[in-house]
Each structure stands twice: as structure tokens, then as C-alpha cells.
Amino acid sequence: MKAAGLLPMILLTAGMARAQETLDCHFAPGWEAAGAIREYAADNLYDYKDGAADGYLSYGFARMRTIECKSGGDMLTIDVSEMTDADAAYGLFTANRDSRLPIAKIGMGGQIQAHSGIFAKGNYYVEIAEVAANPESDHSATMQAFTAGMQKRLEGGETAPEALEWFPKENLDSVRLVPESVLGLRLLKRGYVAKYKQGQAFVVQEATPQSAEEVLKKLREHFESVTPAQVGDEGFQAKAPYLDGICIFRKGRFVAGYANLPSAQEAISLAAKLAVMIP
């Protein structure tokens, strides 16, 4: 929260004017505003978030509005980030959520803990973070109240991105949007990664089937000992350092697959199930 008050840029725009009405400290009894609403754009988010600004920008950040609230010795901050699209908003949520805890039905998805609440709704990603006088206290009811209040006031869809439904549910641990370099490979620019008890699956959407073909071609060249696999429109299997048994395929404009499985054969078997789900 450093430098929070240093550069309160007033950048009112039509898009955020509506969000301005949502920022409120009165969602729970005893809470009041501890300062003016501040607004940040991509070019000055750093003043507020320091290096963490890079995380927001990588997902597709438009602007943020924020307010600090207080109640006795407790302080909380509400950050409402307007992202470039709902995918980006949900993606940022997946990066910040605790993957060990379930996703709550708040907007497209949310999570509430003792001193924090986060959720995504439409193009908005909301973070409520409390600095409590007693860190051992449980203020999840307050977080619930603020989260519910904000959720009601924000407009936007409440349906999670459809790509989440493509991943087989069995042994699924978590799904997140990786904003760049899926599996640590620059060729796979941005996509959803599903972590399983064993291995991980991914889906990257390219602009066209042709560009997806090009990516698959380069991936084939990237790995050693590649052999074709009958999955999707075209695919291959390989074994690679750090990724173990892999199977990568293309279906239309999607490049997808499985990695980190004991054998490429297992990867092929699972990839075939994923391919069926991708439209």
C-alpha cells in the first residue's frame, strides 16, 4: 500500500464512473472511509502497487479505483480493477486465489478468508484486504459483507470462462490463466493451465487455425524425439526435461495438451479426452 497517497490521479472516465458508485465503506457496521477514492491507470499503477503492478499489467489491465476504510484499529482497502475483458479479470482472480481452498459463488468466482475477499465479475477484479489490529482475529464475516456488497453493485457476467469446462474434472486440483509462457515455453503465449494430482493440462487459443499450426510446428522442432500422436487435428508426443511425458495437439485454433505425466502414452490418453471437449 506504499505511496498510496502520493499520486491520486483523477482520471475519471465513463467506464469507471459506474464503478465509482460501487466504492463504499459502509457495507458493514462501524466502517467508514479513511480517505478519498483514488484512481490509477496502467501508466501509474506502479505508484500504488510497486513491482506487483507487473502482475496486473500482464493479465490486461485498464484501470483501478481504490478506497481505504477504517473501523477502530482495523483498516481495509478495496481495489477494483477494470480489466480488458472478463477473461483477464477471471485470470487475475485465478492467479491470486488460494488454490487449496474452494472457489465460492461470488460473481464468476471468489474467495473469502479471515482478512481478505477477492472475486471477479464481468471485466472487474475486486480485492478487499484488511490489516487488522489483531492479525489472529477472524473477520471473515466482515469480508463476506464487503464482498457481497461490492458484488451487487458491479455490473458484469457471472459465468466463468467456458474453457474451464473443457478440462476433465477427475483429480483436478486447480485451473488458472497463465498470462505468458505456458509451461515455461515462450511459444505458448497465454492460456489456461489445469493442475491435476498428477500432471497438468493446458489450452492455448491462437488467433487462427493457421497460427495454431505454426505454433505446433515450432513446438515439434523445440522438442527432441518427437513422434506423431493421433489427437485432435494433429499432435505429437515426446519426453522432455522438466515436462516429462507430454502430448501436445492442435484442434482448430487451439493448441492444447498434457505434460508432466510418467509416460507420453498416458499423456496421449488424457489429451484425447481433452480434445473431445474442445469445440
Q: Which stretch binds other proteins (CB under 8 A): 93-101, 143-151, 208-216, 268-276?
A: 93-101
Say whether residue 54 binds other proteins (CB under 8 A).
Answer: yes
Site for other proteins in 16-45 (CB under 8 A): 42-44
Among 19, 25, 28, 53, binds other proteins (CB under 8 A): 53
Q: Rounded to whole angstroms, how far apart are CA atoms 140 and 197?
A: 29
Among 16, 28, 118, 268, binds other proteins (CB under 8 A): 118
Which residues, 6 or more positions from 261, have their beta carbon under 8 angstroms from its beta carbon?
198, 199, 244, 245, 246, 267, 270
Beta pairing partners, 77: 68, 129
Say whether residue 101 binds other proteins (CB under 8 A).
Answer: no
Q: Rounded to whole angstroms, how far apart are CA atoms 82 and 98?
A: 21
**In the stretch 191-230, what mask flags binding to other proteins with x, by CB under 8 A?**
--x-------------------------------------
C-alpha cell read off for 165: 469446462
Burial readout 190-221 (b: 16 or more C-beta within 10 A, e: otherwise): bbbbbbbeebbbbbbbbeeeeebbebbeebee
C-alpha cell read off for 75: 483498516
Q: Which stretch binds other proteins (CB under 8 A): 29-37, 161-169, 173-181, 223-231?
A: 173-181
Say whether residue 173 binds other proteins (CB under 8 A).
Answer: no
H/E stretch holding 129 reads strand 124-131
Among 58, 140, 205, 269, binds other proteins (CB under 8 A): 58
Q: Which is nearer to other proteins, 129 or 172 (CB)?
A: 129
Beta pairing partners, 82: 63, 124
Q: Which is nearer to other proteins, 127 or 206 (CB)?
A: 127
Site residues for other proteins per CB under 8 A = 1-3, 6-7, 42-44, 46-47, 50-55, 57-58, 95-99, 116, 118, 131, 134-136, 176, 178-186, 193, 241-243
